[in-house]
Structure 1
Amino acid sequence: MASNGRDSAGNIVSQLSQLADRHLYLVRSISTGLAIAGAFLFAKSIKLTTKFTNAKGIPEKFIRKNVKLQGKLRCITEQGLEVEHIPITLPIVSFFQKKWHSDGSLLIRLAGVELTGCGKIWLRNRLHPSQMLWFQLLSREDSVLDCFILVHRRGLFNECLNVEILRQGLGKVSRVPRIDEHPTLWKFYKRLLQAEVKAQKKGKGMWKRESQLNMLTNKMLNNNIVQKLKQLASNIVNYWKKYRT
């Protein structure tokens, strides 16, 4: 009897084991699906998978934290860069994400940079349509985003176009909107000022003419004829003072 009981219990365990083996793939698939769904819902709740087609649709906390977003360049206009935002995609559900996303682009300006005519030409030569880039949110003014724009270059480093333009003397530093409201923006502003000072010292771009003018002015001031004229003028002034007294 005891032997029959043990055999019966063993058969039950064996049958349960076989049942679990047959449905193991199903269980794993369900677990994976639930994990992906949970990750997607979490990402969607914090707007990581949302495609932004309007500057006003970007959460304020993204701008306060200077979040970096990825995008694809559409074109360069007089107002700035038109960029199509590329949100984070998740495996398996990426097909459905594309269906949910609407079309549209964001208008982006180079934060803290006033471009010269040569700077605009340089920018058009540096970038090309459909090029991927990153834009770091600094501030928002109506429907325009002021950003640090980063493009991938050789090696592991990204190039900041804002800083590079100023370093080449192809623009000058301008006011960063809302900098007084967000103290964290001062560190970005400092980087821009440092780049402009380097261009001034090296006489690059727009600062080249100014440095040449300064050199010419210094030469004229140090000229012997100029020195004699200055001395003559000084003597006339002294003589006039003595004459009046």
Structure 2
Amino acid sequence: MSDPNAVQKWQVRLCFSIKGALVWLGHLDMMRTMERSLRRAELPLFYSQGFNPRPELVFALPAGVGIETERDYVDIFLREHVSITNFLDRLAKTVPPNLTLLDAHLVVDEKKSIMGRVCAADYGLYFPKAASFGTLIWEAQAMQVEKHSKKKSRIIDLRPMLLEVYDSEDSNALEIKVKAGSAENMRMDLLSQVLVDQFGASEDNVNNARIVRHDLYFLPVKTNKG
């Protein structure tokens, strides 16, 4: 039975891209940028409860610093219904340069958050002769690298996270599909380290590579009806 006192929320899934100077923002700064743009657009945002209310936003998967995104996603919660056309028109006037709105739609009756549904991602790494490393990483038995966290460091194997290496006509492009999301997530900085340490890629080339996350893949939707 639904709660008659519950406040209704409308969930809008926005697809956007990021390039240029914005790729150097950390995730918290990107959140603030999106929040500021939404407020300036005077959209009827749904705010969190507590001493410091914030607009309720859920990003699908934060990109690493320096990584461009071609199709990024964020769920934005509203306290009033707004048409998608009106939503996009108003927000387009307030977002900063290099953040491009691509499309949006209303999300209805999804059990799991968008963050929990991310399972894979397509990436492109662009540096001289990058394509030559495609066969090497695909045929590798292991790709071990040291992963550092605040509390400890440990050795992990990236190879099980590599799902596909795409054919590319560009010899300077390494196009791949990898596991991504909260369960398993191949970080591009760790892959870059493996390319240098294990496969002999030029450290200068890899450190100066252009990295693009083309798109994300999502687990099938489970609705509240079953």
**TM-score category (smaller protein):** under 0.3
TM-score (norm 2): 0.24
Taking structure 1 as the reference length, the TM-score comes to 0.23
Of structures 1 and 2, the one scoring higher in RCO (CA 8 A, sep 6+) is 2
Greater strand fraction, Structure 1 or Structure 2: 2
* Structure with greater helix percent: 1
Between structure 1 and structure 2, the one with the greater Rg is 1
